[in-house]
C-alpha cells in the first residue's frame, strides 16, 4: 500500500480560527486521519517540517518569522493552499496597513492606554514586524485559495476530499464566502 | 416587437435604442453589473458586464442591441475576463469583507461569488484613504469606493444636489464632496437622498445600522445575485 499523503499546516499572522474551522469537520476528522498523515502542524508536536504533499497556511505575512516559515512550507509542500481571508488578502490584520509601523508600535507599547514601562520590545528573540501585512501569494506561489473568515468546515472538507481524490475542486454556492 | 438578437443562443427581443443590458434585463437574463442601474444613464466604468460579440469584448450596458447579434454572456473566457476585472477592483481598495457591514448584501462581493472568484491574486495596493464620519446619519469609507459614480449620478440627476464628483486622474481618481470643507457633514446631503441608497459596495452606509441581518439570511447568503437580483431591488428590506 502506498504511503498516505502527508499534510502540514501553519498559522502565520492568523487567529487560529481557520484551524478551529478545520476541527469543525467534527467526527470526519477520524476519516481524515485514515486518509492522511499529519506532519508539522499546531495539532502535532513535530517541530521541523518534512516533505509533504499538502500544506495549509492560515494567516497573512506580518513579520520576519512568517516569511521564513512560509518559504519553508513552499520548499517542502508539493501543493500549498492559502486558507482564509488573512492568507488570501491580508484580512483584518492588514487594516494596520492604514498606518505606519512606527505609529502602530508607539500606540501599542508607548502611548496606549494602560501601558506601563513604555518602550518598544527589542530583544533579538522577537521577530521584527514588516512595514505592511501581506497576503501570502505576494511572498510565494500559491496553488489554491480557500476564502472565508474562516472558510466553513464544509468548504475545507470539500477541498480536502476532492483534492485527495485528485478531482477538480468545485464548491457549492453556499460554501464560498469572503466573510 | 419583432427584432431579436441572440444571447448565449437564446433569442432576446429588443426595441430600437435599447442596450444589450436593457434587453437582457427585460427578458429576465442576468448579465453581471456594478455601475449599471436602469434608473440612471449607463456609465460603462466597471466593465464587469463585458460580453463577447464576434470576438470583440464590449460592455453590455453601453452597446446597442441590434438585429441578429450573437452575444456570448457566459463562456468560461468571458467569466475569466470578469474575474480579472473584479480582482483589480478588489486589490485597488481595502475590501475587508469580514469587517464590512455590507458583507452578504454587497453587490461587488455578490458578483465576485457569481463569477467564481476565490482570491484577488494581484498585488494589493492597500490605499490609505480616509473615512468621512462627519455626517450625522451616513458614513463614507473611501477605501471601498469603486468609482461607479452611481452616487454622483443619483445626486445630480435625481436629488438635484450635485453633492458628489470624481476628481483626479488615473489611479489618483477619487470621490469628492461638494462642501467648503470637503466633508459630507457640511454638504446638503441627506440620508433620504437617492444618492444615499445606490452604492453597490460598503462605501456609503447608514450609521448605527450595521449587522442587523443574521448570517444566513442576508441578501446573497443562499442564492446568487443572478437569481436574487441587485441590492437596489431589495432596498426596503436591506436599508
In a domain, A55, yes or no: yes
Query: Do B119 and A149 count as a contact with CB atoms less than 8 A apart?
Result: no
pLDDT in tens, B60-90: 999 999 999 999 999 999 999 999 999 999 9
Residue A1 is predicted with a pLDDT of: 52
Confidence of residue A164 (pLDDT cuts 50, 70, 90): very high
pTM above threshold 0.80: yes
Is the CB of residue B76 less than 8 Å away from at least one CB of chain A?
no
Question: Could you give all domains of chain B from N- to C-terminal order, each with its CATH number?
Answer: 3-74 (3.10.20.740), 87-208 (3.30.70.20)
Tell me the average pLDDT across B170-199. 97
Residue B1 is predicted with a pLDDT of: 53
Is the CB of residue A92 less than 8 Å away from at least one CB of chain B?
yes
Query: Do B104 and A179 count as a contact with CB atoms less than 8 A apart?
Result: yes
Residue B236 is predicted with a pLDDT of: 59
Task: Give Cβ neighbours of residue A40 (< 8 Å, ≥ 6 apart).
Answer: A8, A9, A10, A46, A47, A48, A49, A50
Q: Which of residues 104-133 of A touch B (CB under 8 A)?
A: 132
In a domain, A123, yes or no: no
Query: Do A90 and B113 count as a contact with CB atoms less than 8 A apart?
Result: no
pLDDT in tens, B40-68: 999 999 999 999 999 999 999 999 999 99
In a domain, A116, yes or no: no
Confidence of residue B233 (pLDDT cuts 50, 70, 90): confident
Q: Is the pLDDT of residue B192 over 70?
A: yes
- Residues facing residue B6 across a β-bridge: B11, B70
pLDDT in tens, A14-39: 999 999 999 999 999 999 999 999 99
Q: φ, ψ for residue A55 (rounded to 5)?
A: -120, 130
What is the least distance, in Å, from the CA of B102 to any CA of chain A?
10
Residue B2 is predicted with a pLDDT of: 79
Is the CB of residue A91 less than 8 Å away from at least one CB of chain B?
yes
In a domain, A31, yes or no: yes
Q: Which conformational region is residue A124 in: left (phi greater than 0), alpha (psi within -120 to 50 degrees), or beta? A: alpha
Domain count, chain A: 1
Confidence of residue B239 (pLDDT cuts 50, 70, 90): very low
Residue B141 is predicted with a pLDDT of: 98
- Give which of B91, B116, B118, B144 to mutate to test A binding, by max A Cβ within 10 Å: B118
Is the CB of residue B96 less than 8 Å away from at least one CB of chain A?
yes
pLDDT in tens, B128-171: 999 999 999 999 999 999 999 999 999 999 999 999 999 999 99
Locate A152 and state its grid cell: 466553513
Q: Find chain B residues with C-beta within 8 A of A146's C-beta.
A: 118
In a domain, A24, yes or no: yes
Residue B238 is predicted with a pLDDT of: 43
* CATH number of the domain residue A171 falls in: 3.40.50.700
Q: Which domain holds residue A54?
A: 6-95+131-176
Facing residue for B126 by CB, picked from A94, A137, A174: A94
Task: Give Cβ neighbours of residue A132 (< 8 Å, ≥ 6 apart).
Answer: A94, A96, A97, A101, B126
Query: Do A90 and B90 count as a contact with CB atoms less than 8 A apart?
Result: no
Query: Do A137 and B223 count as a contact with CB atoms less than 8 A apart?
Result: no
In a domain, A50, yes or no: yes
Estimate the crossing angle of helix A28-35 against helix A153-165, to 10 degrees: 30
Is the CB of residue A174 less than 8 Å away from at least one CB of chain B?
yes
Facing residue for B109 by CB, picked from A97, A174, A178: A178
In a domain, A121, yes or no: no
In a domain, A68, yes or no: yes
Percent of chain A past pLDDT 90, that is, above it, reads 98
Residue A28 is predicted with a pLDDT of: 98
- Give which of A60, A81, A178 to mutate to test B binding, by max B Cβ within 10 Å: A178
B21, B36 contact by CB (below 8 A): yes
pLDDT in tens, B15-48: 999 999 999 999 999 999 999 999 999 999 999 9
Residue B232 is predicted with a pLDDT of: 83
Amino acid at each position: 500500500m502506498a504511503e498516505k499523503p502527508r499534510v502540514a499546516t501553519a498559522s502565520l499572522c492568523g487567529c487560529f480560527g481557520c484551524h478551529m474551522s478545520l476541527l469543525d469537520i467534527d467526527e470526519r476528522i477520524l476519516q481524515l486521519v485514515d486518509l492522511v498523515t499529519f506532519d508539522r502542524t499546531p495539532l502535532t508536536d513535530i517541530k521541523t517540517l518534512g516533505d509533504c504533499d499538502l500544506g495549509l497556511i492560515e494567516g497573512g505575512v506580518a513579520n520576519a518569522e512568517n516569511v521564513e516559515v512560509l518559504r519553508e512550507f513552499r520548499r517542502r509542500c508539493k501543493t500549498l493552499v492559502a486558507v482564509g481571508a488573512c492568507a488570501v488578502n491580508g484580512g483584518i490584520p492588514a487594516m494596520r496597513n492604514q498606518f505606519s509601523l512606527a505609529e502602530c508600535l508607539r500606540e501599542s507599547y508607548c502611548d496606549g492606554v494602560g501601558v506601563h514601562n513604555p518602550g518598544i520590545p527589542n530583544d533579538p528573540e522577537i521577530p521584527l514586524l514588516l512595514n505592511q501585512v501581506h497576503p501570502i501569494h505576494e511572498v510565494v506561489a500559491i496553488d489554491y485559495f480557500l476564502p472565508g473568515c474562516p472558510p466553513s468546515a464544509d468548504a475545507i472538507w470539500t477541498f480536502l476530499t476532492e483534492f485527495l481524490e485528485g478531482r477538480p475542486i468545485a464548491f457549492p454556492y453556499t460554501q464560498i464566502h469572503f466573510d | 416587437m419583432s427584432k431579436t438578437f441572440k444571447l448565449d443562443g437564446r433569442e432576446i427581443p429588443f426595441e430600437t435604442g435599447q442596450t444589450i443590458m436593457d434587453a437582457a434585463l427585460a427578458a429576465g437574463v442576468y448579465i453581471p453589473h456594478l455601475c449599471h442601474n436602469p434608473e440612471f444613464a449607463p456609465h460603462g466604468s466597471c466593465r464587469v458586464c463585458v460580453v463577447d460579440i464576434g470576438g470583440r469584448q464590449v460592455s453590455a450596458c453601453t452597446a446597442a442591441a441590434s438585429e441578429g447579434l450573437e452575444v456570448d454572456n457566459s463562456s468560461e473566457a468571458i467569466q475569466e475576463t470578469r474575474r480579472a476585472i473584479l480582482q483589480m477592483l478588489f486589490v485597488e481598495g481595502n475590501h475587508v469583507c469580514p469587517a464590512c457591514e455590507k458583507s452578504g448584501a454587497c453587490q461587488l462581493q455578490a458578483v465576485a461569488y457569481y463569477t467564481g472568484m476565490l482570491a484577488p491574486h494581484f498585488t494589493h495596493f492597500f490605499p490609505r484613504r480616509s473615512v468621512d464620519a462627519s455626517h450625522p446619519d451616513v458614513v463614507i469609507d473611501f477605501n471601498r469606493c469603486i468609482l461607479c459614480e452611481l452616487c454622483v449620478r443619483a445626486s445630480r440627476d435625481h436629488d438635484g444636489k450635485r453633492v458628489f464628483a470624481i476628481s483626479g486622474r488615473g489611479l489618483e481618481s477619487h470621490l469628492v464632496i461638494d462642501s467648503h470643507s470637503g466633508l459630507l457633514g457640511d454638504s446638503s446631503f441627506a440620508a433620504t437622498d437617492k444618492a444615499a441608497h445606490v452604492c453597490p459596495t460598503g462605501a456609503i452606509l447608514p450609521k448605527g445600522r450595521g449587522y442587523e441581518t443574521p448570517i444566513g439570511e442576508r441578501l446573497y447568503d443562499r442564492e446568487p445575485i443572478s437569481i436574487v437580483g441587485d441590492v437596489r431591488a431589495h432596498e426596503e428590506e436591506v436599508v
